Amino acid sequence: AAAREKNITVCNVPGYSTEAVAELVFGFILNFARSLSQQQWMIKEGDFTNFKQDIQTANFEVQNKTLGIVCGGSIGQQVMKLALAFNMNILVYNRTPRDWGDPRIQSVSLEELLRQSDFVSIHCPLSEDTKYLINRERLQLMKPTAYIINTSRGPVIKEADLIEALQKGRIAGAALDVQEKEPPDQDKILY
């Protein structure tokens, strides 16, 4: 509305960066599975403990893990393709459930997706229905070994609730390409 008042044309480019965002999601997933960032930081700091003893960082295969995709639009579908290549189990929550044409992909409720997934990847637009879709109650449904990834819109996750879940060990980690407030406050613990 504000752009229209100033006679500014606003365009949507469907499909823009679909592959790039899906690849970013898998970068996050592989980083979680192999502790790449943590180990790179340790080496940069001259800490070679990981070569001398088991430092108990995450180190697991993503094959046969369950990926939950919140909203199966174009980006969600591209993430599904990559997940199938990694032989992952896929759960999808859409407001309108559908048959995805592959027995390895199941439509489920959001609550079921959160309970069963090892990774949850969010791809929904921001609306009144999706603002704070992921909050304290829903984060409590997740496994303590699960990770959440948000590449959609920041306010889909209530950050205060996410911080609490991370601090209390209710989930294993989070990767955020977007924040509730952009640019974020630099003093926030997430950054």
> H or E segment at 25?
helix 18-34
Full residue range of the structural domain in which residue 65 is found:
2-176
List beta partners, residue 148: 120, 174
Report pLDDT for 138.
98
Number of domains in the chain: 1
**Alpha helices, H only, the chain:** 2-5, 18-34, 36-44, 49-52, 74-85, 110-116, 136-139, 159-167
Report pLDDT for 1.
66
Q: Give the whole-angstrom CA distance, residue 62 versus residue 78.
A: 17
Give pLDDT tens digits for 139-191: 999 999 999 999 999 999 999 999 999 999 999 999 999 988 887 777 767 66
Q: Identity (one letter) of the amino acid at 147?
A: Y
Residue 129 lies in a domain: yes
Residue 191 lies in a domain: no
Residue 185 lies in a domain: no
Residue 184 lies in a domain: no
Residue 190 lies in a domain: no
Give pLDDT tens digits for 58-84: 788 999 999 999 999 999 999 999 999
Q: Which residue has the tokens 């639009």?
A: 73
Residue 87 lies in a domain: yes
CATH number of the domain encompassing residue 132:
3.40.50.720
Residue 182 lies in a domain: no
Residue 189 lies in a domain: no
Give pLDDT tens digits for 77-131: 999 999 999 999 999 999 888 999 999 999 999 999 999 999 999 999 999 999 9
